[in-house]
């Protein structure tokens, strides 16, 4: 799949959409290319981290290559093995690819509108400095916020993580990210303010209400703005 040629019509559609995306707001003229399989984030099988995602992709040809690599990742040996174990006999799995403006986050992570371990009615937020990739990959001990809904809004508790490393853009300009050390003074500092926790929790709960089912969300703050 990765080595095959795309049909001309498909190439043209992808490049046209990419050009339009850059015009309306990719801060650094770079994009994130994310796999989105039809069998992800299920109650019995999350497929978390199984398919590929490519960050800081720039240029049409690099984008096309990343899209094909996302499609091909559906057939990676580890994915096939996981699918046989948790998805056998449950139908065909298809792969979509999402191309988004690349956001160079100050702090990022994942959030769940319902506790994924206990099913309790509370929002769970995990956060680290830099890009959320470090949290998704389990590379750091992230801050963990537990947010409960109350009549007055939300209240939360936090278990600080020892955030020794973070993901940033690869400085050599080749695309992708690298893992770097976090300064000593920031390792024990909380990643989110009370207002950011409230804003994020309310957004995640609004998404759950809209879709009618618990949500697993990747998010990031950059220059004060929340991106989902």
Cα 205 from chain centroid?
A: 17
Q: Are residues 91 and 130 in the same domain?
A: no
Q: Are residues 85 and 147 in the same domain?
A: no
Domain count, the chain: 2
In a domain, residue 218? The reply is: yes
Q: Are residues 122 and 205 in the same domain?
A: yes
Q: Are residues 115 and 219 in the same domain?
A: yes
In a domain, residue 124? The reply is: yes
Per-residue pLDDT tens for 119-172?
Answer: 999 999 999 999 999 999 899 999 999 999 887 778 999 999 999 999 999 999
Q: Are residues 42 and 142 in the same domain?
A: no
- C-alpha to C-alpha distance for 149 and 123, rounded to whole angstroms: 8
> What is the overall mean pLDDT for the chain?
88
Q: Are residues 172 and 217 in the same domain?
A: yes
Q: Are residues 209 and 122 in the same domain?
A: yes
Domain's final residue, options 71, 101, 131: 101
Domain's final residue, options 68, 101, 134: 101
Q: What is the CATH number of the domain that holds 14?
A: 3.30.1490.20
- With beta carbons less than 8 A apart as the criterion, state whether 31 and 99 touch: yes
Domain's final residue, options 83, 101, 119: 101
Q: Are residues 94 and 115 in the same domain?
A: no
In a domain, residue 3? The reply is: no
For residue 130, the enclosing domain spans: 107-227
In a domain, residue 1? The reply is: no
* Residue 5 DSSP code: P
| DSSP E strands, the chain | 31-37, 53-57, 95-101, 107-112, 123-129, 143-150, 153-159, 165-169, 177-181, 216-222, 225-227
Q: Are residues 71 and 157 in the same domain?
A: no
> pTM of the predicted model, to two decimals?
0.84
Tens digit of pLDDT at every position of the chain (228 positions): 777 889 999 999 999 999 999 888 655 689 999 988 875 544 544 445 556 889 999 999 999 999 999 998 888 777 777 667 765 555 577 889 999 999 999 999 999 999 999 999 999 999 999 999 999 989 999 999 999 988 777 899 999 999 999 999 999 988 899 999 999 999 999 999 999 999 999 999 999 999 999 999 999 999 999 999
Q: Are residues 16 and 91 in the same domain?
A: yes
């Amino acid at each position: 799949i990765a080595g095959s040629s795309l049909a001309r019509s498909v190439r043209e559609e992808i490049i046209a959409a990419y050009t339009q995306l850059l015009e309306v707001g990719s801060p650094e003229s770079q994009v994130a290319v994310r796999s989105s399989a039809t069998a992800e984030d299920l109650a019995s099988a999350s497929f978390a981290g199984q398919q590929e995602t490519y960050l800081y992709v720039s240029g049409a040809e690099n984008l096309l290559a990343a899209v094909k690599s996302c499609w091909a990742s559906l057939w990676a040996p580890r994915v096939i093995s996981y699918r046989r174990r948790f998805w056998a006999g449950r139908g065909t799995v298809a792969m979509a690819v999402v191309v988004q403006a690349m956001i160079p986050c100050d702090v990022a992570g994942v959030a769940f509108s319902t506790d994924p371990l206990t099913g309790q009615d509370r929002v769970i937020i995990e956060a680290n400095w830099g890009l959320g990739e470090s949290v998704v990959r389990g590379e750091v001990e992230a801050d963990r916020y537990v947010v409960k809904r109350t009549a007055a809004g939300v209240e939360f508790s936090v278990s600080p993580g020892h955030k020794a490393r973070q993901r940033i853009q690869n400085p050599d300009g080749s695309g992708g990210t690298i893992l770097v050390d976090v300064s000593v003074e920031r390792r024990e500092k909380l990643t989110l303010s009370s207002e950011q926790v409230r804003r994020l929790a309310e957004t995640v709960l609004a998404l759950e209400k809209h879709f009618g089912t618990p949500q697993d969300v990747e998010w990031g703050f950059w220059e004060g703005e929340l991106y989902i």
